[in-house]
């Protein structure tokens, strides 16, 4: 069931009658935001930083090379030696190098790499969630402005009509063809639409500021959206996609996997370590027995068996297990949240479609009713108040129609985000995809 945003906001765009100086499309706005939004750039930098965890974990296979140097005073005591004095003091100096090649680290390297890879995948999903949130904000703000401008245009048109209506009432009152009440009613309706116009203009200014924040440029004359959304066939299909592909769900799933790997890393600290250690050193004035220079080289297989470390490893393992439990619960909660968001968006879309049909029918009916009231007023069977009421009902119906089509467009964006498709890749934006969309 392929829908377009055009079918949902065509009423709003038809009501905008301004000269096009510089037009922005919804696609162009999303492209600008994707390329240069500072919030998304910050998330990308964090993702690149998280990617370094894999190299850090793989370092567990690599050798460690250390240079060693020392200098200090060495005191000796050798009693009952006929050839050397019982005490001596020497300035000992030594330089050397040590190479340690890990062979076995209690499976901590393997599990650490697994945990790092899962964390990077989770970070990528979080970046995709940030991308979706940005593109959703751009789409929502874009639709807000279309709605705002359409509503402002409606109020301005009504203001012109009511201004003329008030002037006509005053003229008729001057010649005795209308009452003072007719004049006051017309002027009251005029002041009311002016208030509504001011409020609508304020909302438009606020949405313009939001557009500047997300896109980076102030809004120009916005064109009707032409992006296509291939929505699921049913609510059940949408829910199934959401619990599998929603970025928050995917990030939580990788978070659980990483936490389980971290448990294995913590348990590995209780196992022995085996290293190959190579060293070479040169020392001077070690003792009275070795007063000159001494060179030493060695290659040894070293096993370290943890016996007791104040219970730290056991505590770290228990903490890792609890973290894994928490991540499992977070995954369950994210799936429920994705389901809720999808159901709400789907219901909003169906409601908006129904509201659009009824609002369109009401607009047509109110337009015919207003025409009939005007004709009856011309022969004296209707009053000024009747005309004002009919105009007010038609205006409200038109505003409701604009709002219904806006609600439908917004709901479609929400569904796309819930099922994980509101991305540069999913929308086929003409951009070089970054790590969040690969």
CA distance 282 to 293: 7
In a domain, 75, yes or no: no
Whether residue 280 is contained in a domain is answered as no
Structural contact between residues 103 and 62, judged by C-beta atoms closer than 8 angstroms:
no
Sign of dihedral through CA atoms 386, 391, 395, 401? positive
Q: How far is CA 394 from CA 16, 170, 192, in A?
A: 18, 24, 15
Is 156 in contact with 371 (CB distance < 8 Å)? no
**8 A C-beta contact, residue 256 and residue 328:** yes
Residue 69 lies in a domain: no
In a domain, 90, yes or no: no
Tell me, what's the pLDDT at 236? 94
User: Cβ atoms within 10 A of the Cβ of 86, count?
Assistant: 10
Cα separation of the two ends of the chain:
26
The predicted structure's pLDDT at residue 73: 79
- Number of structural domains found in the chain: 1
Tokens of 197: 């116009």
- What distance in Å separates the CA atoms of residue 356 and residue 349, rounded to the nearest whole number? 10
Per-residue burial over 157-167, b if 16 or more Cβ lie within 10 Å, else e, is ebbebbeebbe
| CA–CA separation, 178 and 169 (whole Å) | 7
The answer to whether residue 424 sits within a structural domain is: yes
pLDDT tens per residue across span 239-252: 999 999 999 999 99
pLDDT at 98: 95
The H or E element spanning position 173 is helix 108-174
Q: What are phi and psi of 422, to 5 degrees?
A: -85, 65
Residue 82: the pLDDT is: 54
> Which segments in the chain show pLDDT lower than 70?
1-23, 76-89, 227, 285-292, 435-438
The DSSP secondary structure of 10-70, one letter per residue, reads HHHHHT-----SSEE-HHHHHHHHHHH-HHHHHHHHHHHHHHHHHHHHHGGGS-EEEEEEE
Whether residue 95 is contained in a domain is answered as no
> What is the CATH classification number for the domain harbouring 358?
1.20.1600.10
Does residue 78 fall inside a structural domain?
Answer: no
Domain contains 57: yes
Write down the pLDDT at residue 5: 38
Domain containing 396 equals 2-62+107-269+313-437
- pTM for the model stands at 0.84
pLDDT of residue 69: 92
């Amino acid at each position: 069931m392929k829908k377009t945003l055009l079918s949902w906001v065509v009423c709003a765009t038809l009501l905008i009658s301004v000269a096009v100086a510089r037009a922005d499309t919804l696609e162009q706005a999303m492209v600008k935001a994707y390329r240069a939004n500072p919030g998304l750039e910050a998330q990308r930098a964090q993702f690149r930083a998280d990617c370094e965890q894999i190299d850090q974990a793989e370092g567990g296979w690599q050798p460690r090379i250390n240079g060693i140097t020392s200098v200090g005073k060495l005191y000796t005591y050798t009693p009952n030696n006929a050839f050397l004095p019982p005490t001596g003091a020497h300035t000992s100096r030594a330089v050397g190098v040590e190479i340690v090649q890990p062979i076995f680290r209690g499976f901590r390297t393997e599990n650490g790499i697994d945990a790092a890879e899962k964390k990077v995948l989770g970070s990528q999903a979080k970046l995709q969630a940030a991308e979706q949130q940005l593109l959703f904000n751009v789409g929502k703000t874009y639709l807000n402005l279309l709605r705002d401008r359409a509503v402002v245009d409606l109020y301005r048109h009504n203001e012109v009509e009511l201004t003329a209506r008030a002037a006509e009432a005053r003229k008729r009152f001057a010649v005795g063809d209308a009452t003072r009440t007719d004049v006051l009613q017309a002027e009251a309706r005029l002041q009311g639409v002016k208030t509504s116009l001011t409020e609508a203009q304020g909302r438009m200014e606020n949405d313009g500021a939001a557009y500047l924040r997300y896109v980076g440029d102030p809004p120009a004359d916005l064109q009707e959206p032409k992006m296509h959304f291939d929505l699921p066939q049913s609510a059940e299909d949408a829910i199934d996609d959401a619990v599998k592909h929603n970025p928050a769900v995917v990030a939580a799933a990788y978070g659980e996997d990483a936490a389980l790997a971290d448990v294995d890393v913590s348990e590995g600290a209780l196992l022995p370590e085996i290293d190959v250690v190579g060293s070479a050193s040169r020392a001077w004035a070690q003792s009275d027995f070795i007063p000159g220079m001494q060179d030493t080289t060695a290659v040894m297989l070293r096993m370290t068996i943890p016996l007791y470390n104040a219970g730290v490893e056991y505590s770290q393992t228990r903490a890792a297990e609890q973290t894994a439990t928490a991540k499992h619960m977070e995954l369950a909660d994210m799936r429920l949240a994705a389901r809720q968001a999808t159901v709400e968006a789907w219901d909003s879309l169906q409601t908006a479609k129904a509201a659009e049909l009824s609002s369109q029918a009401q607009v047509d009916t109110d337009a015919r009713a207003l025409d009939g009231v005007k004709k009856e007023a011309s022969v004296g069977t209707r009053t000024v108040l009747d005309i004002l009421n009919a105009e007010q009902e038609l205006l409200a119906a038109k505003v409701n129609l604009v709002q219904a089509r806006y609600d439908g467009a917004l709901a479609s964006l929400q569904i796309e985000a819930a099922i994980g498709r509101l991305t540069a890749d999913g929308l086929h934006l003409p951009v070089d995809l970054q790590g969040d969309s690969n």
